[in-house]
Copies of this chain bind each other. A is one copy, B any other.
């Protein structure tokens, strides 16, 4: 659905009444040369802390833009506390994964290297840029955190207390996903997705022994890693996340 204010931008600046907001060169360029906006035009701004604000462009130069806040459109609200922990895949698919996971409401993206991961480094800035763009377009009030890429074993060794790790297990040992997630609702969650070649037996054995792991099944077909990630996130939101509520009427 189209927003009333088609342009939504994420900013790191504070959004406080009476306080002007400066946007850097790249965003000024986008407003001026891509969208062809001029002083007097309005856009929506959000920063993940102060809600969403309607802002008016007052100055639009080559190196910066200056805006004043007109009114708050929506108060701040959090997304469900849901991380996506994933073995990185090739470029086009990782861009896509970041976009889709952001639309599906993840609060953090965490690339982890597994034994069969055949991508050796992750461009975290690119991951963040994709997440910001998807957050802007999906009308989120937050941008997912991008966590530093690390080895799976390191991530598991420092796993935060109380956070459930939902592992998509294609070897047949998992509980059907809707049942696993609706039976046992906890507040901090993460979905773990393996690489194209799957986890090794050693990795799976290790994962199954961890007290915070819930192994789930995503049905009888073999899913690509990115499909499995999106399917698990959608199922989570539908049976245990914020898709259980009616969608609020759109802001006026």
Contacts and interface: CB of A to CB of B under 8 A. Distances in A.
Interface residues of A, number: 51
Nearest to A101: B227
A20 interface: no
A238 B176 contact: yes
Nearest to A102: B221
Contacts of A14: none
A171 to B, nearest CB: 6
Contacts of A247: 170, 172, 174, 217, 219-220
B230 A218 contact: no
Interface in A182-231: 197-198, 217-224, 227, 230-231
Given A1-B198, A178-B178, A248-B172, A243 B230 contact: no
A246 B230 contact: no
Contacts of A138: 221-223
Counted per complex, copies of this chain come to 2
B178 A238 contact: yes
A100 B48 CA distance: 31
A50 interface: no
Contact of A178 (B103, B222, B239): B239
Contact of A223 (B103, B176, B227): B103
29 contacts: A1-B170, A1-B222, A3-B222, A99-B227, A103-B221, A103-B227, A104-B223, A137-B222, A138-B223, A172-B246, A172-B248, A172-B249, A175-B246, A176-B246, A177-B238, A178-B178, A178-B238, A217-B243, A217-B247, A218-B234, A219-B238, A219-B243, A219-B247, A220-B247, A220-B248, A230-B230, A231-B234, A231-B238, A234-B235
